[in-house]
Chains A and B, each alone.
Chain A
Amino acid sequence: MRKYSALTRAGIMQELQFRLGTFATIFGNLIYLTLIYNLWKAIYASAGTEVVNGMTFSDTIIYLVLATALFNFLEMFIVWDMSRSIQSGAIVLDLLKPLKYRRLKFFEYFGRNVMTFFTTFLPTFIIVFFITKGAIKIGLNIIFFMISVVLALMVNFYIEMFVATICLHTESTWGINIVKESIVLLFSGATIPLVFFPEKFRIVVECMPFRCIYDTPLNILLQKPGYTMDTGLWTMLGMQVVWCAGLSVVSRMFWDISVKRITVNGG
């Protein structure tokens, strides 16, 4: 464990070194968020009703703003890292290291995530909390939200890792990555909350793991029906755990098979 905590620390340090970067990210996010805010304000103003699909304007804004903050928080570049190290041949060295490659990546990014949690997610959350004046209820839901976010992080990591593993088989990283990105962003509810989806479509989307990344934690935070302690919180968290375990096994198996293939073929 010591080895990995050193990695996490290195990740934090690295993140801090990029001094202007931290300012730029915060500033950029603020602009981006006002963009979302204005867009949805206009949308709700045109709708004529206060509540659409059970979401008020402030619900939607909290949802989308925090989704954006989560996006920054969860963002990983494993697919790119991987394809670069494959192209440069460094992958062979990475695989030879005594640390398990997947675990190594996980802790490296975990360090980054801890840092971005404090630099982007937390400030955003605090701002949203005060601006919406009590629309976010503070209670046990915060704890469940945190648990849910950690699960989301893991689900996201396993999906990333699965897609990165595909890169061991093909050189067209760009195509693979863009497919992953667009699918994840749409089906996870990162751009439009899933409740706005047409009924039949939504049922299909809800059967996929992507909702675990954004939709589930955010609905838990907002205490939407179906996500509270009385109505199904445990089911939702349970689903996250199941997806997490399932994806972990699948991505692990896929990785092992692929690595074996590489080592056999000599890369």
Chain B
Amino acid sequence: MKNEKEYAIVMNGVAKEFKVLNRREGLMGSIRDLFSRDYRTVTAVDDISIKIPKGQIVGYLGPNGAGKSTTIKMMTGVLEPSRGELIVNGCVPYKNRTRNAEKIGVVFGQRSQLWWSLPLIESFKLLKEIYLIPDDEYNEMMELYTSLVDLEPLLHKTVRQMSLGQRTLSDILAAFLHNPQIVFLDEPTIGLDVSMKAKIRELIKELNRRKNTTVILTTHDMGDVDALCERIVIIDHGKMIYDNDMEHLKTYYGSYRTLKLRMPGDVWEEEVIDESQTDVMSVISDYQKKGKILDIKLEEIATEEVIKKIYEGVAG
């Protein structure tokens, strides 16, 4: 049992509800809307309880509109939970938004938080002032950055002039600059090419390792999950439907393998096998009866498939 202090985030039955205006359809409907007071309550986040230890990289997954960004907004102190207890870095984020903000870093989708028309180095200097980063820590961080990425060509570019990849990279660097306890990354690799994705993942992993920063990552990209996450939390319709570590996910669904066989006529046959039920060898021998097997491949099931199974399992 861990001491409460060792957790970066503790959520206890946290829920968030919104009031939404019911809009009517058509021309007359919009006229009636002018006078409407017809609201309904939508529960965006429903009774979520998790404890996230310091230094962990957590993949926070779910389909669009599942309540991911609402949760992030609550954790960052922008939104107040309707119910439940939420402690981030030992304090209640909504009551101490600025104090909480000092100890966290956020990269929100493709929206750069840097000053659009300033060279990156100037943005960094301003952040140094805003987060009151001491000179030595700042210099140390810049040295670390220089050792990890090719920083020099970026520093004198304005964010406006950067490519999407460079901008994302800069935003991530900016989010880690004040050595926060927790960094929230929302879709950090969206829209990037393969090599840039790899670069960004490497950077996040390295920064997490060196600074023991807790990372909360929301993404739709399973590559991100595979490369980074130690633990997976999945929510759907505001409810938490899965919370366990990556190992568990793999052992749980690890008994599933995809067997690929090249049969005469150069045809690849695919068979998903649950090893707890069926024996791989028996499947192979069944095929052998049909004809000569030219080639055999045995693949682990992709995480994406696993998560799809989890979604389906709950929805269906």
Q: Which residues of A contact B (CB under 8 A)?
A: 9, 12-13, 16-17, 19, 22-23
Contacts and interface: CB of A to CB of B under 8 A. Distances in A.
Closest 5 CB pairs of A and B: A16-B30, A19-B34, A17-B30, A19-B33, A13-B30
A78 B55 CA distance: 51
A17 B33 contact: yes
Interface string B33-69: 1111000000000000000000000000000000000
Interface in B8-46: 23, 27, 30-31, 33-36
Interface in B124-180: none
Main secondary structure of the interface of A (DSSP, over half): helix
Nearest to A87: B160
A22 B30 contact: no
Contacts of B30: 13, 16-17
A41 to B, nearest CB: 34
A12 B33 contact: no
Interface of B: 23, 27, 30-31, 33-36
A20 B211 CA distance: 50
Contacts of B31: 16
B27 A12 contact: yes
Contacts of A13: 27, 30
B28 to A, nearest CB: 10
18 contacts: A9-B27, A12-B27, A13-B27, A13-B30, A16-B27, A16-B30, A16-B31, A16-B33, A16-B34, A17-B23, A17-B30, A17-B33, A19-B33, A19-B34, A19-B35, A19-B36, A22-B34, A23-B34
A12 B28 CA distance: 11
A19 B29 CA distance: 12
A5 B23 CA distance: 24
A177 B30 CA distance: 33
Nearest to B27: A13
A97 B291 CA distance: 56
Task: Tell me which of A17, A22, A23 has the highest count of chain B C-beta atoms within 10 A of its own C-beta.
Answer: A17
A249 B236 CA distance: 57
Contacts of A16: 27, 30-31, 33-34
Given A9-B27, A17-B33, 10 more contacts: A16-B27, A16-B30, A16-B31, A16-B33, A16-B34, A19-B34, A19-B35, A19-B36, A22-B34, A23-B34
B104 to A, nearest CB: 30
Contacts of B36: 19
B27 to A, nearest CB: 6
